[in-house]
């Protein structure tokens, strides 16, 4: 068996792993990255990027259908719009291929040695990488080991993935569009994809055990999403559980009264969460401290074993690519001797439903639970000129600030395109901005960003356009 030595071995080439490897290479750290599938991990290949591509295609098709129905106030008319879903999937796959290839180029530029294969940990200093093409295994000796193995979709015992039962991965590459789709789970993954399929003309039904959609978000934020679901014709069964599936009757559903009924469906998308990848590659042999299902880490991303680090989904919530990226950079710089900690003021979360939902920092309920006396102000997009020109007047921007000194504690927004406001939200928290800082910053007109300024002005009792 071939044997090599390196200072840093990264297991997992997703957003956290490849960013850690690139930054380590930039800092002159000899680095080996092991990845058994495609570079970029779940996010780039079967998650964030392809889902947003499918969402965009669905939105464009929905616009065309609206124009074809002759109901657009813009005066646009389209005759008999159709979608070639196979071409849509090819277009999506092309974007993924270009980005994955770009990651490979960046790793080469940084001098990172990429081993394309599955790693098996022998101890905290050694792992064997078996190439996926059947080539000779390689034993890698390292000074530092970084675990960046990510997460995977959770299946249901009564409906394992396969055939008509889709994971989110399957839903991103349909060979044909089903007539009827049942989505199990009304979290962000289920609703993002469910709304996209509805725009593609599929009859969509959502089953959720909780009593409302997007249960991890506060109800004021999710109300516009609920209204949009109902307008689009998505059927909701809230407070219900699923008991199984058969091709003749469909999905067997049980409500709170224990009544059981069936929902016909050609495909079932199970989107009930994700779990960390901690099995199958020898991690248990390290006997690391765990935090439930996750690998326990401190504020430096160190595990309980010296020079063994962990980042991203395998270390817990929030399971977000940008968290993993930031952790990866943090680890690489510490290995290079820099003094770094992973203690962000806030980690943004974006739900790409229609309308989109953004949360950064504390929400009003969270501030109240923390015993903070807070000011909360909301500015509606119905009073924003740019939103009117985009036919996107639903939703709002909300700010939460400490009453005593106006320090901004959090931002939330719901509406079309609000994901692009998230950088300003996060930056204001990281820089310790106060309401006055945002309210007295000149925001370009006409933009959706003016709603951010107006929310701060309203919190100060100085609202101009409402």
Average pLDDT over residues 424-430: 97
Q: How far apart are CA 29 and CA 36, in angstroms?
A: 22
Per-residue pLDDT at 319 exceeds 90: yes
pLDDT band per the 50, 70, 90 thresholds, residue 79: confident
The verdict on residue 84 lying in a domain is no
Does the pLDDT at position 70 exceed 80?
Answer: no
* CATH number of domain containing 422: 3.30.390.30
Which tokens hold the place of 451?
A: 């709603």
Torsion angle, alpha carbons of 430, 436, 440, 446, to 10: 70
Q: Above 90 in pLDDT, residue 146?
A: yes
How far apart are the C-alpha atoms of 261 and 259, rounded to whole Å? Answer: 7
Q: What is the pLDDT of residue 72?
A: 80
282 and 148 in a single domain? The answer is yes
Tokens of 356: 């989109």
- Say whether 445 is catalytic: yes
Residue 465 in domain: no
Residues 23 and 148 in one domain: yes
Residues 22 and 139 in one domain: yes
Q: How many structural domains are present in the chain?
A: 3
Among 252, 272, 292, residue at a domain's last position: 272
Q: Are residues 266 and 286 in the same domain?
A: no
Phi, psi of 58 (to 5 degrees): -65, -40
| List 132, 237, 445, 465, catalytic entry | 445
Q: Rounded mean pLDDT of 163-172?
A: 96
Distance CA 218, CA 211 (A): 13
- Cα(219)–Cα(462) distance, rounded to whole angstroms? 27
Tokens 């009564």 label which residue?
Answer: 158
- Tell me the per-residue pLDDT of 324-379, one tens digit each, with 9 for 90 and over: 999 999 999 999 999 999 999 999 999 999 999 999 999 999 999 999 999 999 99
Residues 282 and 133 in one domain: yes
CA 93 – CA 85 distance, rounded (Å): 12
User: Considering the entire predicted model, what is its pTM?
Assistant: 0.95
CATH number at residue 281: 3.50.50.60
> What is the domain extent for residue 443?
349-459
Residues 195-247 pLDDT 10s: 999 999 999 999 999 999 999 999 999 999 999 999 999 999 999 999 999 99
- In angstroms, what CA-CA distances link 188 with 178, 215, 313? 21, 9, 16
User: How many angstroms separate the Cα of 312 from the Cα of each of 13, 52, 155, 371?
Assistant: 11, 21, 21, 30
Q: Specify if 41 maps to a domain.
A: yes
Question: At residue 462, does pLDDT exceed 80?
Answer: yes
Q: Of 111, 99, 120, which Cα lies nearest the Cα of 32?
A: 111
Residues 104 and 175 in one domain: no
Whether 68 is in a domain gets the answer no
Query: 10 Å Cβ neighbour count for 370?
Result: 10
In a domain, 79, yes or no: no
Same domain for 238 and 330, yes or no, is no
Rg (CA), the chain: 24
User: Where do runs of H (alpha helix) occur along 342-418?
Assistant: 364-369, 385-389
By three-state DSSP, how is residue 327 classified? helix
Q: What is the mean pLDDT of the chain?
A: 96
Residues 12 and 145 in one domain: yes
298 has pLDDT over 80? yes
In a domain? residue 121: yes
Note the pLDDT tens digit of each residue in 8-51: 999 999 999 999 999 999 999 999 999 999 999 999 999 999 99
Report which of 444, 384, 391, 398 is spatially closest to residue 416, judged by C-alpha positions: 391
> Reduced to 3 states, what is the DSSP secondary structure of residue 24?
helix
């Amino acid at each position: 068996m071939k044997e090599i030595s390196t200072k840093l071995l990264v297991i997992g080439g997703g957003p956290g792993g490849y960013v850690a490897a690139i930054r380590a290479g930039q800092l002159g750290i000899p680095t080996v990255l092991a990845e058994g599938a495609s570079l970029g991990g779940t996010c780039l290949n079967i998650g964030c990027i392809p889902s947003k591509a499918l969402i965009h295609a669905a939105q464009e098709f929905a616009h065309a259908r609206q124009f074809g129905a002759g109901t657009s106030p813009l005066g646009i008319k389209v005759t008999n719009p159709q979608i070639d879903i196979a071409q849509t999937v090819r277009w999506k796959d092309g974007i993924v291929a270009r980005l994955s290839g770009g990651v490979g180029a960046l790793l080469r530029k940084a001098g990172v040695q990429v081993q394309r294969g599955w790693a098996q940990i022998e101890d905290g200093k050694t792992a064997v990488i078996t190439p996926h093409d059947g080539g000779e295994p390689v034993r890698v000796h390292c000074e530092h080991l970084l675990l960046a193995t990510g997460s995977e979709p959770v299946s249901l015992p009564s409906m394992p993935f396969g055939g008509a039962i889709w994971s989110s991965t399957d839903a991103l590459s349909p060979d044909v569009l089903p007539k009827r789709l049942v989505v199990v789970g009304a979290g962000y993954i289920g609703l993002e994809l469910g709304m996209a399929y509805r725009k593609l003309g599929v009859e969509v039904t959502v089953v959720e055990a909780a009593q409302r959609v997007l249960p991890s978000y506060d109800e004021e934020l999710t109300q516009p999403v609920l209204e949009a679901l109902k307008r689009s014709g998505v059927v909701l069964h809230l407070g219900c559980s699923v008991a199984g599936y058969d091709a003749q009757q469909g999905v067997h559903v049980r409500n709170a009264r224990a009544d059981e009924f069936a929902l016909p469906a050609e495909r079932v998308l199970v989107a009930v969460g994700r779990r960390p990848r901690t099995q199958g590659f020898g991690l248990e042999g390290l006997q690391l401290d765990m935090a439930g299902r996750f690998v326990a880490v401190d504020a430096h991303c160190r595990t309980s074993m010296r020079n063994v680090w962990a980042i991203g989904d395998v270390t817990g919530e929030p399971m977000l690519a940008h968290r993993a990226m930031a952790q990866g950079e943090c680890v690489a710089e510490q290995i290079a001797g820099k003094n770094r900690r992973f203690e962000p003021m806030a980690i943004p979360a974006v739900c790409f439903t229609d309308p989109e939902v953004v949360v950064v920092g504390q929400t009003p309920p969270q501030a109240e639970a923390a015993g903070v006396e807070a000011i909360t102000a909301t500015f509606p997009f119905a009073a924003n000129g740019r939103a009117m020109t985009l036919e996107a007047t639903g939703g709002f921007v909300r700010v939460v600030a400490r009453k005593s000194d106006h320090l901004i504690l959090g931002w939330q927004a719901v509406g079309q395109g609000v994901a692009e406001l998230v950088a300003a939200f996060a930056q204001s928290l990281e820089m310790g901005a106060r309401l006055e800082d945002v309210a007295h910053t000149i925001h370009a007109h006409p933009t959706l960003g003016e709603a951010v300024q107006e929310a701060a002005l309203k919190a100060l009792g100085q609202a101009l356009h409402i």
